[in-house]
């Protein structure tokens, strides 16, 4: 991957599942809050929407199992409240996060964070991990017309930093994120979790590794 490394000016990090293992937090918060409106979700149900922007997740379940005792916005906000508390009290960096940020910084690569999560969750995460200093820009897809797998959030990140899309490298753990990166004409290294590592759809990525440690090793 060394040739790939030499061809990039900007490294774009995803957040959920890449910087922190937030998926268990999401699943528990969704199960708890959706249960209050009579929507009994399973872990598998929650995993099926991994990588989607959360307002799209709420709409997804509302259209399948409409409820009446709370507004869609109330359910949305209650899940985010639980998520923010979980991040503040339980979040830990995934293996290789700090080391990869240091690696790119030492090689004078600009860095950005582009996530489907709400900005308040992004801010809670970078504050908890104490990694704000590494990023030139932090972008949320919450106000984009479409979330991932649409490429809008990645394109906006590149445009705001005045970097050509083809000079960007995206680090992503989900297939929706990889699809978004490739649709944006960016390079992408997939870092899937062990349960999805062998998903054949990750073949569209420019590389696939088990951790950020392995990513920087292959880029060195």
CA distance 24 to 211: 18
Q: Of 142, 54, 66, 129, which Cα lies nearest the Cα of 94?
A: 129
Hey, which residues are catalytic here?
Answer: 14, 16
Tokens for 132, please give them: 């704000």
Please name the residue that has the structure tokens 């490394």.
Answer: 5
Residue 101 half-sphere exposure, CB side, CA atoms within 13 Å?
20
Please name the residue that has the structure tokens 């290294």.
Answer: 189
Inter-residue contact 174 to 13 (CB < 8 Å): no
């Amino acid at each position: 991957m060394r040739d790939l490394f030499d061809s990039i000016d900007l490294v774009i990090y995803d957040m959920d599942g890449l910087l922190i293992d937030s998926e268990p937090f999401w699943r528990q918060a969704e199960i708890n809050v959706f249960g209050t409106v009579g929507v009994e979700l399973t872990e598998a149900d929650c995993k099926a929407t991994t990588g989607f922007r959360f307002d799209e997740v709420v709409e997804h379940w509302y259209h399948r199992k409409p409820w009446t005792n709370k507004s869609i916005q109330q359910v949305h906000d209650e899940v985010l409240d639980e998520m923010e508390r979980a991040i503040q009290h339980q979040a830990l960096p995934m293996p290789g996060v700090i080391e990869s940020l240091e690696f790119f910084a030492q090689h004078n690569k600009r860095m950005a964070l582009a996530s489907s999560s709400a900005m308040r969750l992004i801010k809670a995460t970078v504050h908890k991990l104490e990694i704000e200093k590494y990023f030139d820009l932090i972008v949320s897809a919450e106000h984009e017309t479409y979330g991932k797998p649409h490429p809008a959030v990645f394109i906006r990140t590149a445009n705001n930093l005045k970097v050509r899309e083809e000079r960007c490298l995206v680090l992503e753990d989900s297939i929706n994120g990889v699809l978004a990166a490739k649709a944006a004409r960016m390079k992408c290294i997939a870092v899937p979790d062990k349960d999805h590592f062998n998903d054949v759809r990750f073949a569209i990525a420019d590389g696939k590794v088990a951790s950020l440690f392995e990513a920087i090793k292959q880029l060195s």
